Structure 1
Amino acid sequence: GAERAFKEILAVGLQPNGFIMTNMVMLYSNLNLESKVRKWVEKAMMMNLGNRPVQICRTLLIKMLARTGDSVAAENEFNKLWKENSADIVVVITIMNMYSKLKQADKVIALFERAKDRDDFGNKESLYNLVMDALCRTGEIERAKMFATEVTRVVPNPSIFFYTQLIKIHGLEYNAKGIEQVVRVVRDAGLRPCTEFYNTLVVYQGLLGNFENAEACLEEARRNNLASRKVWTSLVRVYVKGMKLESAERARDRMEAAGFRLDDRTRERLEQLRQSQRSGELSLF
């Protein structure tokens, strides 16, 4: 339907503008159709659209490649943009996030060092947050704390996303008091929590064995209309990891009542816990 509409634009003699071309690229990017995305990006680059629409189209290609796991192709496309001085903060964040998920913290930091002094990138907090995220994923807590300290020096009013990273750091250190302190700071500062903030709280309260606190975090997220599928799944997972079958099943039932379904991996782990406890009961009997 979108392609038919595009052909009609051409048929009546109109010239597609940057808005139309970016929408076509976005359509195929959302469908993860790489060949179509590349075809439409090439079309956009051959048209006289101006720099910004073409930059957006190329960024959408990179986002799709990163999302579908083709990290080498994403990196190559990004390097082309960077060499042309056409990379904005959105595409830099996309690549840093990709490296972080691949646990390539050194690559995240290398790109951070190249990007942090760019005046056109505005507030650099998001770059620092991605560095801390990467270091938490690789277990380099002391380095993550160093970057957190630097944020407090260079960013006047850190956002909720910075405090989300602090919760990860304290959680990995099994520092319950540190987590409580971050929550107090967030409330005192009047910051509005986000879904990822609640999800991180649920994960690390569960890791510490504070299941009541994890439940309280989810309930607060529900009241604020921020209890996403991810937050619900995290609650089920912390109960599964804690070998609390009944609590995990209750959380699963409440999750389904809220209109969400467990992913296959978590459902399998829940079933494994059920089977192991059942076999344990039989052997005891």
Structure 2
Amino acid sequence: MVLVCVSSLANPHLSPLASRRGLRLVCFALPPSKHSITNKPNSPPRPSTNYFGKRKRQHSKPVPDVISTQEALNRFNQLLAAHNPPSSIHQFNQLFAALVRTRTSNNPIFSLFNRFTQAEGICPNNCTYAILMDYCARTNQVGLLFGFLGRFLKGGCKTHARVFSPILKSLCWEDRIDEAVVTVLDKMPKMGCVPNVVSFNIVIDGLCKKGEIDKAMEFLNDMMSKRHKPDVVTYSTLINGLCKNGQIDKAVDCLHDMVFKGFEPNVVTYNTLIGGLCKNGKIEQGVGFLHDMMSKRYEPDVVTYNTLIDGLCKNGKMEKAVDFLHDMISKGHKPNVVTYSTLINGLCENGLIDKAVDCLHDMISKGFEPNVVTYSTLIKGLCKNGEIEKAVGYLHDMMSKGQEPNVITYNILIDGLCKNGEIEKAVGFLSDIMSQGHEPDIITYNTLIDGLCKKGEIEKAMDFLHDITSKGREPDVVTYSTLIDGLCKKGDTEKAVDFLHDMMSKGCEPDVVTYNTLIDGLCKNGETEKAVDFLQTMLRKGVTPNLVTYNSLIHGLYKLGCWKEAVNVFRELVEQGILPDDYSYGALLGSLCKQGQSKEAHKLLDLMIERGFKSIVPYTSLLPCYATDGNFSDVMNILDPM
């Protein structure tokens, strides 16, 4: 059998869904003599196989959740060969469903369906098509998806909402939410198909993921106005969308509304809301909902505790986080590797490295095996604390226990060694990465290049740049910015400028950090005119300068005694809506005083006072100026507010 295309479908409401993609609807060509949706008069009797209602039990070997290609072929052949009793459509559907859940590049689901349609006495039902369409949606084969729907409708099958679920999912995944809304509210009813709660939930989820929360709420109202009852999934989806959109108070209101309307939230609903509250720093409120769910006899699960522990850790409440670990154990809930990894990360981030180490040992003593994330988290904490040798020790420890470090683990150690000035050891770990069968990524190279540049070893850093390109990889903006910084600090601004042009010629656009690095280097090297030119280049290229850009220029002009140009740059800074800081005011006041421009300096001082600038640092730049001029009354006026 082969796949063929048909130009139109029997149902006029379906064609626009496919035509939006310019697709010709695809379906399977099936010999009419061997295939009919209804039972033939001479066909052997089959048990009822209505997927959506009750069916008679079939005694057969259960199909696993996922299945290998070879096992699927073997089982399929056995089903086809069975005659007394013959295999039921339900058994074939079980097999097709297992194949949908199986992730393999050579999934035989379509070839088996082709053979299935050739078999005597059995034919696909709405469940079969729903399964195949679901697979098409999951694998983004939209043409086939519509083709199966077309064949389903043309064959005379009674439409059911389940068949439309893959269509709705596909429309949502492709960001065609409006079409999904129209399909549920208009097209499905016109085709004689009543949407079910799953249909509405799919669209509500799509709208929430797109951030269109208000539309999702309107759609819920449409749902209820058409006498469709929402369920706990509907409300949990909305609560999740509101939390992710930062509308925490509305999410809490949604939960209360849900309860008011007689729907009981489940542990997933509570976990979603608690997670949103924790991410927004409302930890106490999250704990309150934990007590609320327990008062309603809903047992929190490991996800509930992990969410709260993570929230407490991120808010620096480590004692409470540890208390929650003990509380969950005392209530008979087993922590998992995520629980301990979260706690270890929190302890490390809060500088409690020794306690993090104790937590790892406690985890192991309780029979939990740390994974690569757990070890990487602890190694990162030790590196940040300057305990590099201990960090390396835990790398060897994890390897001795069969946990293979990944490129992230090595990047953490390389970064720690570079920051500790141990560049040679860091380079040695690059060899370890490759010997372990891992490919170093751009972060690995950028970290090493940065370490070498900071040690002034520019040539070695350049060697790593060539190593990146020789392996067919592209340096990124961080790579070039780091090398430009290294060259500027070495005083080789000419080569730094060449590097900027080189990166642009290779399609890598400089960002504000790249320009700031070069402008600062040029100013420190006395090449302020070139620096000003690069400011103009930035503006032409649409890169917005920031305070760092202008401060570098003001300071560079100040050093050269170009006070008028420094004032112009300062004015441009203010016109751009950027607030000057200590450095901006101090550099400009210093430049004006140095050139004997005490009146201009005083005008700037008035501007500072007018803008409510209260830091004492810039004021100190004026004192030598007024003292030299003998304006002691002005000196006292400055000292008075200080």
Does the C-alpha gap of structure 1 residues 145 and 191 become closer, same or farther in structure 2, counting only changes over 3 Å? closer
Output the CA distance in 1 between the equivalents of 2:162 and 2:256. 31
- Residue 201 of structure 2 is matched in structure 1 by 129
Asked whether 1:15 is paired with 2:110, we answer no
Mark the runs of 5 or more structure 2 residues left unpaired by the alignment.
1-60, 64-73, 352-380, 387-642
Task: Indicate if the aligned counterparts of 1:194 and 1:226 stay in contact, CA closer than 8 A.
Answer: no
Whether the 8 Å CA contact 2:313–2:343 is kept in 1: the answer is yes
Distance 2:145 2:301 in 1: 31
Q: 1:64 to 1:83 in 2, by over 3 A?
A: closer
Which residue does 1:79 correspond to in 2? 146
Match of 1:261 in 2: 336
- Secondary structure, in 3 states, of the residue corresponding to 1:35? coil
Q: Deviations over 1:6-65 (max 9, x none)?
A: 62872665432202211222233333356243343333333343441xx42343244356
Contact 1:195 1:228 in 2 (8 A): yes
Kindly tell me: are residues 139 and 248 of structure 1, through their superposed partners in 2, closer, same or farther at Cα, counting changes over 3 Å? Answer: farther
Q: CA offset at residue 99 of structure 1?
A: 5.5
TM-score (norm 1): 0.70
Correspondence list, 1:59-78, <5 A:
59-64=130-135, 66=137, 70=139, 72-73=140-141, 75-78=142-145
Aligned counterparts of 1:4 and 1:51: Cα–Cα separation in 2: 18
Aligned to 2:183: 114
What displacement does 1:224 show? 4.6
Contact 2:100 2:131 (C-alpha < 8 Å) held by counterparts: yes
1:28 and 2:99 equivalent? yes
Rounded Cα–Cα distance in structure 1 between residues aligned with 2:195 and 2:299: 25
Relative distance call for 1:44 and 1:269 in structure 2 (3 A) is farther
How far apart, CA to CA, are the structure 2 residues paired with 1:65 and 1:259?
39
The whole-number CA distance in structure 1 between the counterparts of 2:271 and 2:307 is: 7
Instruction: Quickly say closer, same or farther: Cα 1:13–1:182, change in 2 above 3 A.
Output: closer
Cα distance per residue 1:148-174 (max 9 Å; x no partner):
443343346433333334434543353
User: What do the CA deviations read for 1:93-122 (whole angstroms, capped 9, x no partner)?
Assistant: 34534665x5x44x2331331243323443
Output the TM-score relative to the length of structure 2. 0.35
Q: Distance in 2 between matches of 1:261 and 1:116?
A: 44
- Structure 1 residues 150 and 226, CA, compared in 2 at 3 Å: closer, same or farther? farther
Is 2:260 the partner of 1:185? no
Aligned equivalents of 1:212 and 1:90: distance in 2?
41
Q: Which of 215, 221, 230 is the matching residue for 1:158? A: 230
Name the amino acid aligned to 1:77: L
Correspondence for 1:45 among 105, 108, 117? 117
Describe the superposition over 1:122-169 as per-residue Cα deviations: whole angstroms up to 9, x where unpaired: 345443433332232222333334334433433464333333344345
SS, match of residue 209 in structure 1: coil
Larger Rg: 2
- Per-residue CA deviation, residues 64-117 of structure 1 (Å, 9 max, x unaligned), is 5655xx3x22x33321123333674224334534665x5x44x23313312433
Give the aligned partner of residue 128 of structure 2.
57
Aligned to 2:597: none
The residue identity in structure 1 corresponding to 2:210 is T
Contact 1:202 1:231 in 2 (8 A): yes
120-129 or 242-251: bigger deviation: 242-251
Q: 1:77 to 1:240 in 2, by over 3 A?
A: farther
Query: More displaced, 232-241 or 140-149?
Result: 232-241
Task: Give the count of matched residue pairs.
Answer: 271
Contact 2:200–2:223, Cα closer than 8 Å, also in 1: yes
Q: Is the 8 A contact 2:309 2:324 kept in 1?
A: yes
1-structure distance, mates of 2:315, 2:282: 10
CA contact (8 A) 1:232 1:251 kept: yes
Helix, strand or coil for the counterpart of 1:116? Answer: helix
Give the whole-Å Cα distance in 2 for the aligned partners of 1:8 and 1:226: 43
**Cα distance change, pair 197–98 in 1 and its aligned pair in 2 (3 A):** farther
Q: Give the whole-Å Cα distance in 2 for the aligned partners of 1:91 and 1:267.
A: 43
Q: Deviations over 1:215-249 (max 9, x none)?
A: 34445556655645655554455445545555556
Code of the aligned partner of 2:110: R
Greater RCO structure (CA 8 Å; 6+ sep)? 1
- Between Structure 1 and Structure 2, which shows a larger proportion of helix residues? 1
Q: Percent identity?
A: 14
Q: Structure 1, residues 179-218: CA drift from partner, whole Å, max 9, x if none?
A: 4433333333332323432232222222343323323444
Residue 275 (structure 2) pairs with residue 203 (structure 1): yes
Q: 1:58 to 1:240 in 2, by over 3 A?
A: farther
Could you tell me how far apart the structure 2 residues matched to 1:144 and 1:268 are?
36
Letter in 2 for 1:203: G
Alignment partners' CA distance in 2, 1:193 and 1:110 = 30
Q: 2:167, 2:308 → 1: CA distance?
A: 29
**Gap regions ≥5 residues in structure 1:** none
Match among 207, 211, 218 for residue 146 of structure 1: 218
